[in-house]
Homo-oligomer: A and B are copies of this chain.
């Protein structure tokens, strides 16, 4: 056997500092200086590249395409864990804001992204999230036009928090908002309820059993575009996220000064979600969704809109689940499986913390 002498390799002779910095987030990545510029140049710009971002100015300059109205929204995202079946904090952050704009009937076009990173975060984790945001933005056909990164020391964050804001363009003749529900309107849900909340719980290991369930995270602007092209009698659109469908319907009833009656047997819920909810004492009506919308549509156009929704990948399981009424003002009632009516109130307290 020949014995090798241990001589330093070229790698071990090179300065270890830059490599170490690439491995985990350090406070300097939020400094505004060299390390931050490197992070932007190496991680953000290549993934999200577009001329607006590349210009490197304090704001992204974009076109309003001669539209007179803008829809503007923001969401903070603190979901735990960062990755879960069907999505991650990155896809969630893009879809959350895209959907808030799309449900106004606006076309979401521009996103801003601000990160609060915890010192010690593996850069690889950040890069996975950046890539997920790239893919989701591509599917949603939105551009990321501005960003910011701050770093907090260990114990003052939890890996990655993301706030997104977005701007959409709104045609002059579109009037879709929470105060526009009208008695007689059909209430349509675009698919099954509670998938996101239960999928995140499963990823936390809090279910106590294995569940083969994915979050429903999806950008809904494509589905909404199809719906708006088919009907000009869509009065309300909203995505039932935190607080679930129950809270969303109550918000709309309150804003529109109407009542809403839904029918339990018509509400699409996956068996796994039902099983998990029963076990944990949750009601799927209150569990967060991240790729679903509820629509109030004039009765004469409800079937047409439903049909259009069912032809879209994100609306395949759409169903008419009830109607708007002037009889139970500001109240949401559910006709239960046994034929009685019960009042559906908003979510009280906290059911599933850090679900989005």
Contact = CB atoms under 8 A, between A and B. Distances in A.
Interface stretch (A100-108, A269-277, A299-307): A100-108
A166 B146 CA distance: 10
A46 interface: no
A349 B35 contact: yes
A75 B69 CA distance: 24
A291 to B, nearest CB: 15
Interface in A102-145: 103-104, 106, 110, 112-116, 145
A26 B350 contact: yes
B350 A167 contact: no
Nearest to A74: B112
Contacts of A147: 74
Contact of A76 (B73, B148, B241, B251): B148
Given A104-B58, A163-B163, A178-B57, A243 B74 contact: no
Interface in A140-165: 145-153, 155-158, 161, 163, 165
A210 to B, nearest CB: 26
Contacts of A353: 27, 30-31, 151, 153
A43 interface: no
A66 interface: yes
A330 to B, nearest CB: 14
Interface residues of A, number: 90
A247 B33 contact: yes
A59 B168 contact: yes
Contacts of A166: 59
Given A116-B78, A150-B77, A61 B57 contact: no
A205 interface: no
A59 B150 contact: no
A55 B177 contact: yes
A61 B104 contact: yes
Given A75-B114, A157-B157, A350 B33 contact: yes
A194 B14 CA distance: 36
Contacts of A56: 178, 251, 255
A70 B64 contact: yes
A239 interface: yes
Interface string A324-356: 000000000000000000000011111101101
Nearest to A156: B158
Interface of A: 26-28, 30-37, 55-78, 99-101, 103-104, 106, 110, 112-116, 145-153, 155-158, 161, 163, 165-168, 170, 177-179, 238-239, 241-244, 247, 251, 255, 286, 288, 346-351, 353-354, 356
17 contacts: A27-B350, A30-B350, A31-B351, A32-B241, A32-B242, A34-B349, A58-B100, A58-B104, A58-B238, A59-B100, A65-B68, A73-B112, A73-B146, A75-B148, A116-B161, A157-B157, A167-B167
4 smallest CB-CB distances across A and B, nearest first, come from A32-B242, A33-B347, A165-B165, A32-B243
